[in-house]
Amino acid sequence: MAKDNKADSTSLLSKNVKIDGEIHGPENLHIEGYIKGSIKLTGNIFVGSTGIVQADMEAKNIVIQGEVAGNVLAHQQLEIHPSGKLIGDCTASTIDIKEGAVFEGRSNMIKSAGLSAGPSVPPNISAAQSPKKPQS
Partner 1 sequence: MPLFGKKKKETRPQPPDTAVSQKETTYFGKNLRIKGRVSGNGNIIILGALDGEFNLKGRVKIAQPAKIKGQVKADIISVNGHVQGSLVAKERVHLDQTARIEGQINTPSLSISEGASFDGEITMSGRSPESSKPAAVASVSAPQDTAKSTQK
Residues near partner 1, by CB under 8 A: 5-29, 33-34, 37
| Least distance between partner 1 and beta carbon 25 (Å) | 4
Q: How far apart are CA 14 and CA 20, in angstroms?
A: 14
Burial class of 54 by CB neighbour count within 10 A (0 to 12, 13 to 18, 19+): middle
CB-based contact 112:93 (threshold 8 Å):
yes
Q: Which is nearer to partner 1, 18 or 106 (CB)?
A: 18
CB 43, min distance to partner 1, A? 8
**Number of CB atoms found within 10 A of residue 41's CB:** 20
Our CB check for partner 1 shows the closer of 33 and 70 to be 33
CB of 93 to partner 1, least distance (A): 23
- Looking at beta carbons only, is 12 or 127 nearer to partner 1? 12
